[in-house]
Amino acid sequence: LRHALSFLELQREDIYSIEIVGGATRIPAVKEQISNFFCKEISTTLNADEAVARGCALQCAILSPAFKVREFSITDVVPYSVTLRWKSSYEEGTGECEVFSKNHAAPFSKVITFHKKEPFDLEAYYTHPHEVPYPDSRIGRFTIQNVGPQHDGDNSKVKVKVRVNIHGLFSVANASIIEKQNIEGDHNDTPMDTESSSKNQGRDDELDKMQVDQDEGIQKSQAEQQNQADEETENPGTETKAASGDKQDHPAQPKAKAKVKSIDLPIQASLYRQLGQDLVNCYIENEGKMMMQDKLEKERNDAKNAVEEYVYDFRDKLCGVFEKFITEEDSNKLTLMLEDTENWLYEDGEDQPKQVYMDKLQELRKFGQPIQERYMEHEERPKVLNELGKKIQLLMKAVEAYKNKDEKYDHLDPAEMEKVEKYISEAMNWLNSKMNAQNKLSLTQDPVVKVAEILTKSKELDSFCNPIIYKPKPKIEPPNDGQSKANGEHNGPVNGQSGTETKPEPAKDNSQQTKPPGEMEVD
């Protein structure tokens, strides 16, 4: 508590109220110590178990486009300060820099500029090992590869981007080398960092400038502008150092003659207490294999459960709805088979491949499917037979009305109506014969006609008879249709009206011209 107050630069008197949340705050001794430290009564109005859930719900509502909530920003912090260390070429020393201080905002990125002639290592570690609850304070070693001198032998400018992501993990995101190119070929403007590098090869040479940019919520264009600003602020400073050391030998040259190009560099990361990318990929591959194995195991269990479910379901129906559709002998035989399958499932069939269960289910259905089909046909057949009979009766009434010279059907072709009458008669004979044959069979026998056949017959009857019987009458055109159409196109006076009678009054607005009535009607 003292550390928290000192970090925030607050006194105990500045604290207005204390709200405690967390499992340990239920301990009476903890409550007493907090209360004695602040000399105030503590508040427990928040439900300790619901506090995190409320925060999660608020964060989800902020992220979701379906909810509109009050603006509420949450800034995460870096719990432990992070420092970078590297070997310096000056007197075989080392350089270091604390890139992220404790409680620094996260996620966050920083760009560090080095001046190097060869590949170099960056070692990242936690600044204060005693604060870190890990036995090893090292984070990792990052090797910046493919670094070489400039064309004139000077140090190359290397920009290294370090980052703490949204999960609080530190990494070297990328590195790039800045190459200087001369446009006009003037050799005097190339050694821009020569004097500074000769006099300041210590930390100022290794770590020239630190550039900060926060990746989250900042566009790439802004990052590029910051990189350009870094170059613009860095190079003039370097030239100033050179001019102060030897102003006469190296006068400042205009920067417009120099062109820079950025080239990405490969980074080799060696992480401590973290998994490498190869190992992560291996684990991901193993996870995929396990997921596939779980899928196969689920399919095997589903096949086994399907057999067990079929046994229980069919055995109950044999004594219920299927009882009338199977002989007593077949019922006893099938019941015995179901009992044997049930015993097999809990003994030898406890752990069998998926195909074995599928074959067992297919064997049971081979005996049970005919019984189930007889039951379904018996339930559905009366309905479709009744519908077919109604259709035949309606068609027969239409044929009878045609024979009685009904005006509704007097436009139909007699030859086609004879075909319809014959087709209806054949359908009636087919229906009667099938119904008579079916009535002679018992429920335990397979049906003579199936529901699918009756539906097909009904569709054939509709497709043949309906286009003929319900053929619409031809339309009779009015005798004066052509004459009235010609009069409408002419738009002249009708019924003795003169053109002067239909002429509209002149418009009050002088800006609009009045058109003749004939032209108005055409429009």
The pTM of the full predicted model, rounded to 2 decimals, is: 0.46
Of the candidates 215, 101, 221, the one whose C-alpha atom is nearest the C-alpha of residue 165 is: 215
CA distances from 218 to 106, 107, 211, 256, 257 (A): 14, 12, 14, 29, 31
- The DSSP H or E segment spanning 268 is strand 267-271
What is 195-240 written as a DSSP string? HHHHH--SHHHH--EEEEE--TT--HHHHHHHHHHHHHHHHHHHHH
Question: What is the rounded CA–CA span in Å between residue 260 and residue 156?
Answer: 11
Question: What is the rounded CA–CA span in Å between residue 333 and residue 296?
Answer: 34
Evaluate whether 115 touches 193 at the Cβ level (below 8 Å): yes
Give the tokens for residue 188.
């005097």
* SS3 assignment, position 140: strand
Per-residue pLDDT of the chain (523 residues; tens, 9 = 90+): 998 898 888 898 899 999 888 878 889 999 999 999 999 999 888 887 788 888 888 888 888 889 888 877 778 889 899 999 998 766 567 888 999 998 899 889 999 999 888 899 999 999 998 888 888 889 999 999 988 888 888 888 999 999 999 888 899 999 999 887 765 544 443 333 333 333 334 444 444 444 444 444 333 333 444 444 343 333 333 333 333 333 334 444 454 556 778 889 999 888 887 777 788 899 999 999 999 999 999 999 999 999 999 999 999 988 888 888 888 898 899 999 999 999 999 888 888 999 999 999 999 999 899 999 999 999 999 999 999 999 999 999 988 888 888 888 888 888 888 888 899 999 999 989 988 998 888 888 888 889 999 999 999 999 998 888 888 888 776 666 555 444 544 454 444 444 444 444 444 444 444 444 444 454 3
Question: What is the rounded CA–CA span in Å between residue 273 and residue 425?
Answer: 90
pLDDT for residue 36: 93
Helical H segments across 256-276, by residue range: none
Give the tokens for residue 410.
């007097």
pLDDT for residue 478: 64
Per residue, the 3-state secondary structure of 406-449, as one string, reads: CHHHCCCCHHHHHHHHHHHHHHHHHHHHHHHHHHCCCCCCCCCC
Q: To 10 degrees, the CA torsion angle through 26, 31, 34, 35?
A: 140
Question: What is the rounded CA–CA span in Å between residue 292 and residue 258?
Answer: 59
Domains (range + CATH), the chain: 1-63 (3.30.420.40), 76-180 (2.60.34.10), 276-473 (1.20.1270.10)
Helix 328-345 with 277-318: angle, nearest 10 deg: 150
Question: What is the rounded CA–CA span in Å between residue 392 and residue 432?
Answer: 12
Question: What is the rounded CA–CA span in Å between residue 201 and residue 91?
Answer: 9
